[in-house]
Chain A
Amino acid sequence: MIRFILAKLLYLVPTFLGITIIAFGFVRILPGDPVLLMAGERGVSPERHAELSAQLGYDKSLVLQYFDFLGRLMHGDLGNSLVTKKPVLTEFLALFPATVELGLFAIILATVIGVPVGVLAAIKRGSWFDQISMTTALVGFSMPIFWWGLLLIILFSGILGWTPVSGRISLMFFFPNVTGFMLIDSLLSGQKGAFGSAVSHLILPSVVLATIPLAVIARQTRSAMLEVMGEDYVRTARAKGMPPFRVIGIHALRNAMIPVVTTIGLQIGVLMAGAILTETIFSWPGIGKWMIDSISRRDYPVVQSGLLLIAGLVMLVNLAVDLTYGLINPRIRAT
């Protein structure tokens, strides 16, 4: 197992270097530059443009700028935002818990609902439940998040008045940020009703963000289960007279979970993409919205370091998935 983990860790080094190049290159390939966007309709004289570019270090060659970036990175310096002038890491750490909280809820929701639905659809293959759930999953998968989010807001917050429209907690609650996780902080604050308010604010955005992963997980679980249930060992277990619950729960599900765990791991990346829109609609102060704002302003340091941090996290999650894989299936450890 240790060799397995070490081998996986070794793979991270070239991947990480590759990501630094992509993160650095990506925002620079986009047309337009931060100085022009800062000036807007007002325009900026060529002299002032050159002066500002030099001040920001963008007059140097791209290769030199890249090594500058890499060098500072090695010292743990991710740079300062061109817009807010604040360190990228400070901003990231301030916003990241909100995204984690939302993402975690969404992925739990997607798994808790998606896996049983997929299993049930596989067992009752061809039934009305199978048909309806899989069609719904397809619709969910194709749903434009922005539209879906707004629809839910109008229905549940506007017409029914069951959930708050947006934000993380009612503005009437005001307490210090301890962990950045609103659920925890609201409990720590000891204020009556704060935790409930935080939960109610989490419902709609989690549902919206969970929609696509839920659909994918349900469909993946169903097809993995169908495949496994046709295997010889399942037939044998059944022939031995094992109760259906044990056959499905132990023999089938455990093996079917391997591709499902991979899928759940891959959904982390999908979640990040979904978070960008979800956070914008629900005024959720997370890193998705932060990245979008920074890309549209060509805030180079934020985009490159932000991408790097996000990619690094996705890599770690994937590593965790690989390791879980090894736990579920001992054969994989050997290879």
Chain B
Amino acid sequence: MKYLSRSMIAVSALALMAVAAEAKTFVYCSEASPEGFDPAPYTAGGTFDASAHPIYNRLTEFKKGTTEVEPGLAESWEVSEDGTEYTFKLRQGVKWHSSDTFTPTRDFNADDVIFSYDRQGNADNPWHQYTPGITYEYYTSMDMPNLIKSVEKIDDYTVKFTLSQPEAPFLANIAMPFASIVSKEYADALDAAGTREDLNNMPIGTGPFKFVAYQKDAVIRYAKNPDYWGTAPIIDDLVFAITPDSAVRLQKLMAGECHLMPYPAPADLEAIKANPDLTLQEQAGLNVGYLAYNTTVAPFDNPKVRKALNMAINKQAIVDAVFQGAAAPAKNPIPPTMWSYNDAIQDDPYDPEAAKKMLEEAGVKDLSMKIWAMPVQRPYMPNARRTAELMQEDLSKVGVTVEIISYEWGEYLQKSMEAGRDGAVILGWTGDNGDPDNFLSVLLSCASAGEGGANRAFWCNEDFSKLLKDAKVTADPADADQALRRRAGHLQGAGALVHHRAFDPVCADVEQGLRLRDEPAWRFHLRDRRSGRVIRAAAY
């Protein structure tokens, strides 16, 4: 590891440029500490940024910045006619990282794939509970235990997955961080040494960067993997400076203490844009924020009433005031970057007069309702209270009285799913695997409308749910696309949700000489998709 004197990074962007060009150390001001370095037991994006993306690879990968799937550790694959058998041809000559305590004796092969899946799905695998209290929530919540019937080794470089039913998004599912491939040989070595927990502390992967050291809540260090099978990294040393407060992250960025920061606060956007040393990059996020009526309770069971309320709410005003413009009103429940997005759909216009009339026609007078405002910030909703207040004001113009309520976060999540809930709920969703089903089934299917689901509108339309199911088992993507377009159209009439935004927070970055975005090996896939903006230094 190379050392640079502090004075050099403290001064100016110009000095920094020289430093960065020489040593190629890249400092990323990350927003959260990783929970661990084994991606399988965790679900947080901040954890994956520190583990799955730099250190590991998966059989399939998302094309950078998209939700399209491309070959990863699997070079190619074949899908059986009925869509239940996937045979993967594995990449040969892929080297595992080495560390002070572990030197691999063999390349990546089929045993590693089988081990990586079996330890999550098979409760009898000795690695299933390698640390007390470990669970595989992503694997479980993507329904993998029911979906994957078996994973078999055909030969050293061929693996066959057998599914219990056809599943259109399967290739996208296995590109997700939880499906990262870990080394069987390393696990065996840890077993022999009696230090199994090091699988989570000192990771060994095949990715573009090797793990070097982690100081809890402070710094993570990585070094370039010189043997990387893909395009070699142009960064030599990658450093994560963990900085939870967004205002402090921005200060660090401006002081030259880091080169890139994600999630600037919406309130800082103007200042960032005005700063000539910083560049802000925007990209639509893979999320949606919404207000969900309880469609099982009068008068919200009447689509006309819902449409009238939707028309009374000024979404653009919310986008401007709460997101400082870093969002867009949504007209579909899925973001526009996602395949199957139906751009032909017309949004309900903002028209309080017409809304008032529609409410009168529906026989609704002196309506009073509750709006739930979540107590936490989320990428899809930086300030729910303020959003609720804006809605309150809009609705008062059409004669609807709104009371704003809130609960502690865990309670909010639980109570908002209780049958017969009183009031409309502000919440949102961030996509997992880039498949539209991951939004539509979760948020609007009948199956998800009960306890343990996430359909907080309780909107259940059997035809629509059937369309969702059919599309999921369709192996032909063209067909699925058609089916999904139909769903989106179908949904429009239902008006169960008011969507407030289609893109996401913001990712900021200053770069001196090194252009992270052009760095082919550092795959911030999810970050790319989730982040709305990136700041980049103009001074190079």
Q: Which A residues form the contact surface with B (CB < 8 A)?
A: 30-33, 36-49, 52, 55-56, 80, 82-86, 91, 94-95, 150, 153-154, 157-158, 161, 164-168, 170-174, 177, 191-193, 196-197, 200, 280-283, 285-286, 289-290, 293, 296, 298
A55, B133: Cα distance in complex, Å? 7
Binding stretch for chain A, among B276-284, B410-418, B495-503, B523-531: B410-418
A85, B4: Cα distance in complex, Å? 35
Please provide the chain B residues from 396 to 429 with a CB less than 8 Å away from any CB of chain A in the complex: 407-411, 413-414, 417, 427-429
Residue from A47, A80, A174, A285 in contact with B3 in the complex, judged by beta carbons closer than 8 Å: A174
Across the interface, do B219 and A171 meet the contact criterion of CB distance under 8 Å?
yes
Q: Which residues of B contact A168 (CB under 8 A)?
A: 218
Q: Which residues of B contact A280 (CB under 8 A)?
A: 244-245
Whether, in the assembled complex, B453 has its beta carbon less than 8 Å from a beta carbon of chain A, the answer is yes
Known: A167-B218, A171-B241, A172-B6. A283 touches B248 (CB 8 A): yes
Across the interface, do A85 and B410 meet the contact criterion of CB distance under 8 Å?
no
Known: A31-B408, A41-B413, A164-B6. A290 touches B141 (CB 8 A): no
Across the interface, do A84 and B35 meet the contact criterion of CB distance under 8 Å?
yes
Q: Which B residues form the contact surface with A (CB < 8 A)?
A: 1, 3-6, 9-11, 25, 27, 33, 35-36, 41, 43, 131-135, 137, 140-141, 197, 200-201, 213, 215-219, 221, 239, 241-245, 247-248, 251-252, 254-255, 257, 378, 407-411, 413-414, 417, 427-430, 442, 448, 451-454
A165, B453: Cα distance in complex, Å? 43
A56, B129: Cα distance in complex, Å? 13
Q: Which residues of B contact A42 (CB under 8 A)?
A: 43, 141, 442, 454
Across the interface, do B242 and A283 meet the contact criterion of CB distance under 8 Å?
yes
Across the interface, do B1 and A86 meet the contact criterion of CB distance under 8 Å?
no
A200, B257: Cα distance in complex, Å? 14
The 8 closest A-B pairs by CB, nearest first: A32-B410, A45-B452, A285-B217, A170-B6, A285-B218, A172-B4, A36-B410, A31-B411
Q: Which residues of B contact A192 (CB under 8 A)?
A: 5
Known: A39-B137, A84-B35. A289 touches B244 (CB 8 A): yes
A335 to chain B, nearest CB (A): 45
Across the interface, do A38 and B43 meet the contact criterion of CB distance under 8 Å?
yes
Residue from B4, B197, B407 in contact with A31 in the complex, judged by beta carbons closer than 8 Å: B407
B287 to chain A, nearest CB (A): 10
Which residue of B is nearest A82, CB measured? Answer: B133
A91, B239: Cα distance in complex, Å? 21
Across the interface, do B452 and A44 meet the contact criterion of CB distance under 8 Å?
yes
Residue from A36, A56, A85 with most neighbouring chain B CB atoms (10 Å): A85
Q: Which residues of A contact B201 (CB under 8 A)?
A: 86
Residue from A43, A158, A161, A167 in contact with B417 in the complex, judged by beta carbons closer than 8 Å: A43
Q: Which residues of B contact A45 (CB under 8 A)?
A: 451-453
Q: Which residues of A contact B451 (CB under 8 A)?
A: 45-46
Can you list 30 residue pairs at the A/B interface with Cβ under 8 Å?
Answer: A33-B410, A36-B413, A40-B43, A41-B413, A43-B448, A43-B453, A43-B454, A45-B451, A45-B452, A46-B451, A55-B135, A84-B35, A85-B36, A85-B197, A95-B217, A158-B251, A165-B255, A166-B243, A166-B248, A167-B241, A167-B257, A168-B218, A172-B6, A174-B213, A192-B5, A280-B245, A283-B218, A285-B216, A285-B242, A290-B217
A332, B413: Cα distance in complex, Å? 55
B537 to chain A, nearest CB (A): 16
Which residue of A is nearest B201, CB measured? Answer: A86
A32-B410, A164-B257 given; name 18 further pairs at CB < 8 Å: A43-B413, A47-B452, A48-B140, A85-B134, A150-B247, A158-B255, A161-B11, A167-B241, A167-B257, A170-B9, A171-B239, A171-B257, A172-B3, A192-B5, A280-B245, A283-B241, A283-B242, A289-B217
Residue from A36, A91, A167, A170 in contact with B216 in the complex, judged by beta carbons closer than 8 Å: A91
B154 to chain A, nearest CB (A): 33
B241 to chain A, nearest CB (A): 6
Which residue of A is nearest B257, CB measured? Answer: A165
Which residue of A is nearest B430, CB measured? Answer: A41
Q: Which residues of B contact A161 (CB under 8 A)?
A: 10-11, 255
A331 to chain B, nearest CB (A): 46
Q: Which residues of A contact B242 (CB under 8 A)?
A: 283, 285
Across the interface, do B243 and A283 meet the contact criterion of CB distance under 8 Å?
yes
Known: A171-B241, A289-B244. A193 touches B409 (CB 8 A): no
Q: Which residues of B contact A167 (CB under 8 A)?
A: 218-219, 241, 243, 257
Across the interface, do A31 and B133 meet the contact criterion of CB distance under 8 Å?
no
Q: Which residues of B contact A52 (CB under 8 A)?
A: 135
Which residue of A is nearest B38, CB measured? Answer: A85
B237 to chain A, nearest CB (A): 9
A39 to chain B, nearest CB (A): 7
Known: A161-B10, A165-B248, A173-B3. A85 touches B131 (CB 8 A): yes
Known: A158-B255, A193-B6. A37 touches B248 (CB 8 A): no
Q: Which residues of B contact A166 (CB under 8 A)?
A: 241, 243, 248, 251-252, 257
Q: Which residues of B contact A285 (CB under 8 A)?
A: 215-218, 242
A45, B453: Cα distance in complex, Å? 7
Residue from B25, B33, B213, B248 in contact with A150 in the complex, judged by beta carbons closer than 8 Å: B248
Which residue of A is nearest B243, CB measured? Answer: A283
Residue from B132, B218, B239, B442 in contact with A80 in the complex, judged by beta carbons closer than 8 Å: B132
Across the interface, do A177 and B454 meet the contact criterion of CB distance under 8 Å?
no
B439 to chain A, nearest CB (A): 12
A55, B132: Cα distance in complex, Å? 10
Which residue of A is nearest B34, CB measured? Answer: A84
A46, B418: Cα distance in complex, Å? 12
